[in-house]
Amino acid sequence: MDIIDLVTPSQDAVIARLKADVPPDLGSVHQHVKQDTPPPFVMVGSIDISNEGSKGSQTELVSVELHFVTRGSSRAPLLALMHAARAALEGRELEADGVQFETPNFMGSTVSNAGPDGVTYAGISTFEFYAEPA
């Protein structure tokens, strides 16, 4: 059995789903946020992989953190962006050539208070799904 890369297509599939379904007026979607990128945005953060396959098979549990940053006079824009990302991913099909995905499950979120500037809010949401060669 040849082991294939499931991490890159998992990341790319999450980004594609977010870009397709998160309204751009709520925030942009990134794999890497360049310095001085203005909020609002969502970025794919940490990706954790665990081996769930049996001997001779490849199945991986993929855990993806999404990082959100907004600015404003309340948390409302942050909460709207986080909800849009959840609606885009939870229970929705992910697609990548050569990979079969289970639909993502929402695991939880953390929402911050305003940052030291009084107008920057941040959040993290975590999703899990299984990936295996198609």
Please provide residue 87's backbone torsions phi and psi, each rounded to the nearest 5 degrees: -65, -30
In 3D space, the residue among 80, 94, 63 whose CA is nearest the CA of residue 27 turns out to be 80
How do residues 31-71 score in pLDDT, each as one tens digit?
999 999 999 999 999 999 999 988 888 999 999 999 999 99
In 3D space, the residue among 27, 50, 56 whose CA is nearest the CA of residue 40 turns out to be 27
Query: Residue 16: which residues within 8 A CB-CB, separation 6 or more?
Result: 94, 95
pLDDT at residue 131, as a whole number: 98
pLDDT of residue 1 exceeding 90, the answer is: no
How do residues 62-98 score in pLDDT, each as one tens digit?
999 999 999 999 999 999 999 999 999 999 999 999 9
- Total count of residues recorded for the chain: 134
pLDDT at residue 85, as a whole number: 98
The backbone region for 21, taken as left when phi is positive above 0, alpha when psi lies in -120 to 50, beta otherwise, is alpha
